[in-house]
């Protein structure tokens, strides 16, 4: 049967690039089952009409017509009808009315049409690449299910082994077969996969658990510290372990030093024993000395105030004594005025 061409057919628009993209997207989005492909092929052959065979026959007939306008009109109509057939089949497949394999299996029917129209590239875009993608994906999934060759990477396999979910020999096989390791190297590599605490974690551990210096040293070496950095980190971790005790002991010692129970030499000896830096020792000694000076001034101030209260010093004499102790003039004035007011005297400088 030869289809007649008319003005309405000639007016059909050429398909846009977006049409092709939409169709390709629809075809690729279908999920296929290898076991159903034969059934799908039979279904589409039964449901697809003889339209394409007639279309190809018409193109062969048109090749003998010299009128290029007529030929172009027919080609436009066939191309639009081809696009329509693909779209309609994908739509019906989505609705479950025909097997989804139909959209892909129409490719042979369209091949001759596109070839006659000089549109081989369009045929590849619509069918060859999506078909390869879909069938390749389906084939891979199918044979993966049959042979069950997939397995976790060595990191996940190590965790599974530690949880008792994977035999040791399977973990060893993954390292040997997937990573190409010798058996001895694979066994050592498994030991390497064990987690080692970082220096910052070691600092937290020593605060809450008794650990030996040898254990700390070994962990720092396993973390990768060299001989230059190792002593520094080891010293910091050791000090972290007794930091709170040092703070409490120093607070008590400083209080005793404030009231003269220890000498400056004894302070130096204690700070040296704690292996502090020179800057730390100087700051701590300065703080202790300030507290001692404050205690001395406070005691002398109270003594002068007591003499005033007993009538042995006048207001002006008390004011002078306080200034000799190094007390600021305004502070001394406030002290004397307060003490004088207690006696009912309105005194100020």
Please write the tens of the pLDDT for every residue from 143-153.
667 666 678 88
Would residue 65 be called left, alpha or beta, if left means φ above 0 and alpha means ψ between -120 and 50 degrees?
Answer: beta
The pLDDT score that the predictor gives to residue 93 is 58
Residue 90 pLDDT class (50, 70, 90 cuts): low
Distances, alpha carbon 181 to alpha carbons 151, 155, 255, in Å: 17, 15, 65
Number of structural domains (the chain) is 3
Q: Are residues 21 and 86 in the same domain?
A: yes
Given this model, what pLDDT does residue 316 score? 95
Contact 86, 126 (CB under 8 A): yes
d(CA 56, CA 74): 11
Query: Would you say residue 274 has pLDDT above 70?
Result: yes
The verdict on 135 and 59 lying in the same domain is yes
Q: Is residue 312 part of a domain?
A: yes
| Residues 178, 118 share a domain | no
* Whole-number pLDDT of residue 216: 85
**Is 91 domain-assigned?**
yes
Name which residue leads in pLDDT, 257 or 74. Answer: 257
pLDDT band at residue 214 using 50, 70 and 90 as cut-offs: confident
Over 90: is that where the pLDDT of 348 sits?
A: no
Query: Does residue 186 share a domain with residue 86?
Result: no
70 and 175 both lie in a single domain: no
Residue 94 lies in a domain: yes
Contact 154, 174 (CB under 8 A): yes
Over residues 63-79, mean pLDDT:
56
**Identity of the highest mean pLDDT range in 36-40, 197-201, 287-291:** 287-291
Between CA 193 and CA 27 the distance in angstroms is 45
Kindly state the average pLDDT of the residues 274-293. 87
Q: For 94-108, 158-172, 269-283, 322-336, which range has the lowest pLDDT when averaged over its residues?
A: 94-108
The mean pLDDT of 64-87, rounded to a whole number, is: 58
Residue whose entry in the numeric block shows the structure tokens 């030499």: 265
Residues 165 and 137 in one domain: no
Q: Phi/psi of residue 317, each to 5°? A: -65, -40
Higher per-residue pLDDT: 278 or 47: 278
Helix (H) or strand (E) holding 291: helix 278-309
On whether both 33 and 94 belong to a single domain, the answer is yes
Say what the pTM is.
0.42
Domain region containing 314: 277-342
Q: How confident is the model at residue 26 (pLDDT cuts 50, 70, 90)?
A: very low
Residue 213 lies inside a defined structural domain of this protein: no
Token representation of residue 238: 């050791």
Neighbours of 235 (CB within 10 A): 11
Is 49 a residue whose pLDDT tops 60?
Answer: no
**77-88: average pLDDT:** 62
Indicate whether 253 belongs to any domain: no
pLDDT tier for residue 349 given thresholds of 50, 70 and 90:
confident
């Amino acid at each position: 049967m030869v289809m007649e061409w008319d003005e309405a057919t000639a007016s059909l628009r050429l398909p846009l690039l977006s049409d092709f993209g939409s169709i390709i997207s629809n075809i690729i989005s279908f999920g296929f089952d290898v076991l159903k492909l034969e059934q799908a092929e039979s279904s589409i052959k039964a449901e697809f009409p003889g339209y394409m065979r007639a279309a190809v026959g018409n193109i062969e007939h048109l090749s003998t017509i010299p009128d290029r306008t007529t030929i172009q009109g027919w080609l436009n109509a066939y191309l639009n009808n081809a696009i329509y057939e693909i779209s309609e089949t994908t739509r019906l497949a989505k609705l479950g009315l025909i097997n989804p394999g139909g959209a892909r299996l129409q490719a042979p029917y369209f091949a001759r049409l596109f070839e006659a129209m000089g549109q081989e590239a369009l045929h590849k875009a619509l069918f060859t690449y999506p078909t390869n993608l879909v069938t390749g994906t389906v084939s891979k999934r199918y044979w993966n299910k049959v042979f069950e060759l997939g397995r976790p990477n060595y990191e996940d396999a190590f965790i599974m082994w530690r949880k008792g979910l994977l035999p040791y020999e399977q973990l060893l096989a993954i390292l040997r077969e997937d990573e190409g390791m010798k058996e001895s190297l694979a066994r050592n590599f498994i030991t390497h996969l064990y987690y080692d605490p970082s220096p910052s974690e070691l600092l937290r551990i020593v605060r809450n658990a008794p650990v030996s210096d040898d254990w700390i040293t070994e962990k720092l070496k396993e973390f990768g510290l060299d001989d230059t950095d190792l002593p520094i980190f080891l010293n910091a971790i050791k000090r972290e372990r007794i930091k709170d005790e040092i703070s409490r002991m120093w607070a008590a010692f400083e209080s005793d030093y404030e009231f003269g129970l220890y000498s400056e030499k004894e302070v130096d000896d204690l700070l040296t024993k704690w292996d502090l830096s020179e800057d730390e020792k100087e700051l701590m000694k300065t703080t202790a000395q300030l507290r001692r000076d404050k205690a001395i001034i406070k005691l002398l101030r109270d003594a002068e105030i007591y003499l005033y209260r007993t009538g042995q010093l006048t207001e002006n004499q008390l004011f002078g004594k306080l200034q000799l102790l190094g007390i600021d003039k305004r502070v001394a004035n406030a002290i004397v005025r307060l003490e004088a007011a207690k006696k009912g005297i309105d005194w100020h400088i």
